[in-house]
Structures are given as C-alpha cells and as structure tokens.
Amino acid sequence: MKIIDFLTVFFGKVMVKTLHLLKRDAGNAPGLVLWTLNKKCLRAFKVDCPIIAVTGTNGKTSVTNYLNNIFSQGDKHIITNRQGNNLDTGICSLLLNNCTMTGKVHADYLVLEVDESHVPVVFSQLKLETLVVLNFFRDQLDRNGEVETLILKVKKFLETYEGNLILNGDDPNTCRLGLANPNNKNVYYFSVDKYKYATEKLYEAGEGRFCPECGTALEYSYYQYSHVGDFHCPKCGFGNIKPYVQFKNVDLREPSFTVENDKYVTVNNSIYNMYNLAAVYTASKIYNIDKDIVRDCILNFRVNNGRMESFQYNNSTLTLNLAKNPVGANMTLRMLNEDENEKELLFVLNDNLADGHDVSWIWDINFTIFNNVTRVVTSGTRAYDIAVRIKNSGYDPEKIVVKPDLNDAVEFLFSISGRKYAIANYTAVQPTRTALKNFINGKAETV
Ligand SMILES: [Zn+2]
C-alpha cells in the first residue's frame, strides 16, 4: 500500500468522525471527497472477510437485501449498502464508515450492491470472492450508454477474474460472461424452468438477439420475459449450459417453486422475483448456508423499499414497484394485466440526474394490453410525458388524469376505493412511498 492511500483513508476517517461528533449524517459525502482526491483509495482498505457483490440492471437491491438477511443469520456481522448507494463513491463511504483509523474493515461478510459500470474500478482495488450478475437490459442510455458497451466493460474485468461467478443462464447477455475467462473453474449458472406465462414470441424490446460468439440469430424455445428465456445458437451451440441451480414448477398463484426436489413458498408473485431468488439460492448453496435459513428467508422476507411493496388504505390495496427501465415497467404491467379485477394505475416519472434526463425509454414500455384498467393517474416531473405516452398507446385519454404534485396524485387516486398499482422510477420511488405513507397515516389519524 502506498503511503498516499493510507493518508487519504486516514483523512477520510477523520472527516467521518468529525461529522459524527457534529451529529451530522455523513451520507455519501466522505466517499465523494476521498474519491475526488484519490481514485485508488479503495486499495487502502484492508477487508478481512469474503466480499460478495451483486450487479446487473434489475434486481440488485432486492438480491443484496435477501443475501444480507440470509448471511447475517446466527449473529454474523455483515457490512452492506442496503440502501443502494452502489457507485464507487458510495462503496468508499460505506467502508469509511466501517473501518478503523488505519483502514481495517472487520466483518463476516461484505455484501455489496454494485452498479454494473463500477464493477471493474471497484474490484480492481478490492479482492472480490463472489460476483452475482443478474441480467443486462437497456437502462439509462444517457448515463450508461448502450448495453453492449456495459457488458464489454464487465467482460473485460472478468477475463482475469477467477473468483466465484454466479450468472443468469437464461439471459444471453450474462450467460456469455461465463466464457470471459476459460481458466475460471468457478462459474455457476442459475436458470428458471418455463413458467405458465412464458411466450413463444418476444413481445417486449429485447437485447441480445444475436449470438455474442458468432453473430448468428439466437433461437428461442420460449421467452420468460423480455429476452430472458430458453435460447441457444444453432451454429456454435452458445447457450447450452448446465445450470448449477434450476427452479422448476414455478407457480405464481401460490407463489412457489421447487429446487433440488424441495418445494419453497415465497411472498412475491412475479417471474423476475423467481430469478432473483434463484440467484440468492445459488449464492447460499455455494456458501453451504443451512437450507432452513434459506427457506425461512424465501418464505418470510420482504424487501419493501418500493420493491413490490404493499400499502393498505380502507378497502384499497396498492402495490408499488420501482421501474427505471422498460423491462422493469413491463414486469409490473404484466403482473397488473394478469390480475383480472378492475384496477387503477399510478405512474410517477421523474427526470432527475440519477434517472437520466432522457425519458425516451418510456416509448419502449408495452402499454398495448391494459386489462381492466379503469383509470390512470400520472405524476412526477415528467407527468405529462408519461400521460402522452399512454394516450398514444390507444388508451382512452378521458381516463388519464395528470397530477404533477405527488400528494395531489395520491389523494386523487384514493378518492375511489379498489385495487391499485403504482410504478415509480428511480428518484420517484422514495417520494412516492412518503406520499403514500403520509396520506394513509394522515387519514388514519383523522378517523
Ligand atoms: Zn453462435
């Protein structure tokens, strides 16, 4: 370690301690300052435990929270960024908050959610033991660029990586990463067997239609959602992997699945949650975690935090789900459409820095099937854009109500009782939760 790295961490730690003494929440600021001063500062942390990282476009926060729940059982000490501060500066802040003055980080496990584009820089400096890659979808084009650029960046890092690599074997974009380093014997694929609503055709914008090895069009026997499904290359055989873990008998009604001849029941009824759980199960299996712990977590643990979170007000149930790209939004709409009852939709769209200012991704959302949706309320800084998008899909404009102020939108939504769904993008999800809670609690107090 260079003395300069040691000094930057020491300086950062003094900064954190001072902020604590002043009773100020240090937040992301110390990491940002340190990173600005020295982009190699992560080298100075001495972590004495395995580091498990989760990356991919959708599901990082959920999987990280599940792993944190499982790995912390039995009084294990976990350090994790469960709130999703997943950039290099966020991880730097997390370590600063949990290290000694000399940069020692002591825990049983570090479980980190890491933004895809930050994986190479963070783990060229910290020794990674296990990397989970969930999926790659088109996401925040103005910040991340095309998805192919991002995949190549991660692939380059993996060419010299020999740790555990847990990959979604049903997504060609992640499956291909297993070929990045032929010397790595620690590649584990997870897969989910065909479920009831799998389709023979691709109905949503998908990436990865061509074989990354030889460029031939991939052949699919079915799509689970977006471009995730059972594929192979007819020319070179890419995609013929042997899954280490495969979920079978997926039933979204109960919801449940079987794996290794055992049945598991869970709380979330979406196919993409099944994929998240398959990733969680795989990591738990590699680390020999007691199956009862895994079963209990799968049965009872809820991530909440705007991920399939339920809110109850009088006779109305609302399910809120974060969606920051077309695939995420399509998944919530799929769930909404699989519900035969009448329902309303609230869509909150912001265009702040963390969302990407470019909201053109909403045109890749599939609004053509709107099964029994009686009313749509739109809100957020781009409330009008999403209203226009939905109107353009052929939905009756008379049933679309624009309420840019979130509190107004929530109040209006609950002026009629009944089943409700809400979609909110990245910076919209927490304000939407707050508006929902304030409305529900405020009303409860006056009853
Ligand atoms: Zn091929």
Question: How many whole angstroms from 188 Cα to the centroid of ligand 1?
Answer: 20
Q: Where are the beta strands (DSSP E) in 144-244?
A: 164-168, 187-192, 219-225, 228-232
Residues 188 and 330 in one domain: no
Residue 396 counted as domain residue:
yes
Residue 76 counted as domain residue:
yes
Residues 76 and 211 in one domain: yes
Q: Which residues surround ligand 1, an ion (CB under 5 A)?
A: 211, 213-214, 216, 233, 235-236, 238
Question: How many whole angstroms from 217 Cα to the centroid of ligand 1?
Answer: 8
Output the pLDDT for position 429.
92
Residues 279 and 313 in one domain: no
Output the pLDDT for position 443.
67
> Could you tell me which of 428, 410, 327, 416 has the C-alpha nearest to residue 373?
416
Residue 22 counted as domain residue:
no
Question: How many whole angstroms from 138 Cα to the centroid of ligand 1?
Answer: 22
Question: How many whole angstroms from 239 Cα to the centroid of ligand 1?
Answer: 9
Question: How many whole angstroms from 310 Cα to the centroid of ligand 1?
Answer: 43
Output the pLDDT for position 182.
96
Question: How many whole angstroms from 440 Cα to the centroid of ligand 1?
Answer: 54
Could you tell me the two tokens for 83? Answer: 């709130």
DSSP state of 418: S
Question: How does pLDDT run across 133-160, given as a tens digit for each residue?
Answer: 999 987 766 555 678 889 999 999 999 9
Alpha carbon distance 423, 307 (integer Å) = 10
Question: How many whole angstroms from 133 Cα to the centroid of ligand 1?
Answer: 21
Question: How many whole angstroms from 235 Cα to the centroid of ligand 1?
Answer: 5
Alpha carbon distance 251, 274 (integer Å) = 10
Question: How many whole angstroms from 115 Cα to the centroid of ligand 1?
Answer: 28
At 13, give phi and psi (nearest 5°). Answer: -65, -40
Helices (H), ranges, 22-118: 29-37, 60-71, 88-97
CA 249 to chain centre: 24
Domain that holds residue 212: 46-300
Output the pLDDT for position 354.
78
Residue 23 counted as domain residue:
no
Question: How many whole angstroms from 152 Cα to the centroid of ligand 1?
Answer: 17
Alpha carbon distance 308, 419 (integer Å) = 14
Question: How many whole angstroms from 353 Cα to the centroid of ligand 1?
Answer: 38
> Could you tell me which of 286, 302, 314, 387 has the C-alpha nearest to residue 346?
387
Number of domains in the chain: 2
Residues 272 and 294 in one domain: yes
Residues 277 and 392 in one domain: no
Output the pLDDT for position 447.
37
> Could you tell me which of 211, 134, 227 has the C-alpha nearest to residue 176?
211
Residue 14 counted as domain residue:
no
Residues 201 and 106 in one domain: yes
Residues 221 and 132 in one domain: yes
Alpha carbon distance 38, 21 (integer Å) = 25
> Could you tell me which of 161, 266, 250 has the C-alpha nearest to residue 197?
250
Question: How many whole angstroms from 210 Cα to the centroid of ligand 1?
Answer: 8
Residues, the chain: 447
Residues 130 and 275 in one domain: yes
Residue 11 counted as domain residue:
no
Could you tell me the two tokens for 293? Answer: 């712990």
Question: How many whole angstroms from 243 Cα to the centroid of ligand 1?
Answer: 19
Residues 65 and 169 in one domain: yes
Choosing from 266, 300, 334, the residue where a domain stops is 300
Residues 289 and 357 in one domain: no
Residues 222 and 319 in one domain: no
> Could you tell me which of 225, 220, 222, 175 has the C-alpha nearest to residue 205?
225
Question: How many whole angstroms from 181 Cα to the centroid of ligand 1?
Answer: 17
Question: How many whole angstroms from 218 Cα to the centroid of ligand 1?
Answer: 8
Alpha carbon distance 148, 157 (integer Å) = 14
Task: Give yes or no for a cis peptide into 120 (omega within 30° of 0).
Answer: no
Residue 341 counted as domain residue:
yes
Question: How many whole angstroms from 232 Cα to the centroid of ligand 1?
Answer: 8
Residues 269 and 347 in one domain: no
Question: How many whole angstroms from 382 Cα to the centroid of ligand 1?
Answer: 41
Residue 327: strand, helix, or coil? helix
Q: Which CATH number fits the domain that encloses residue 385?
A: 3.90.190.20
- The stretches in the chain having pLDDT less than 70 are 1, 25-27, 83-84, 140-145, 203-208, 443-447
Cβ neighbours, 10 Å, residue 22 = 8
Alpha carbon distance 270, 197 (integer Å) = 10
Question: How many whole angstroms from 237 Cα to the centroid of ligand 1?
Answer: 6
Question: How many whole angstroms from 136 Cα to the centroid of ligand 1?
Answer: 19
Is the separation of the CB atoms in 66 and 280 below 8 Å? yes
Is the separation of the CB atoms in 80 and 60 below 8 Å? no
> Could you tell me which of 212, 42, 225, 237 has the C-alpha nearest to residue 127?
42
Choosing from 269, 300, 331, the residue where a domain stops is 300
Question: How many whole angstroms from 192 Cα to the centroid of ligand 1?
Answer: 22
Choosing from 300, 320, 343, the residue where a domain stops is 300
Q: Which CATH number fits the domain that encloses residue 62?
A: 3.40.1190.10
Find the distance separating the first CA and the last CA of the chain, reported in whole Å.
62
Q: Is 391 exposed, middle or buried (0-12, 13-18, 19+ CB in 10 A)?
A: middle
Output the pLDDT for position 446.
43
Question: How many whole angstroms from 57 Cα to the centroid of ligand 1?
Answer: 24
Could you tell me the two tokens for 430? Answer: 């927490």
Residue 292's contacts (CB-CB under 8 Å, 6 or more residues apart) are: none
Could you tell me the two tokens for 100? Answer: 């000694």
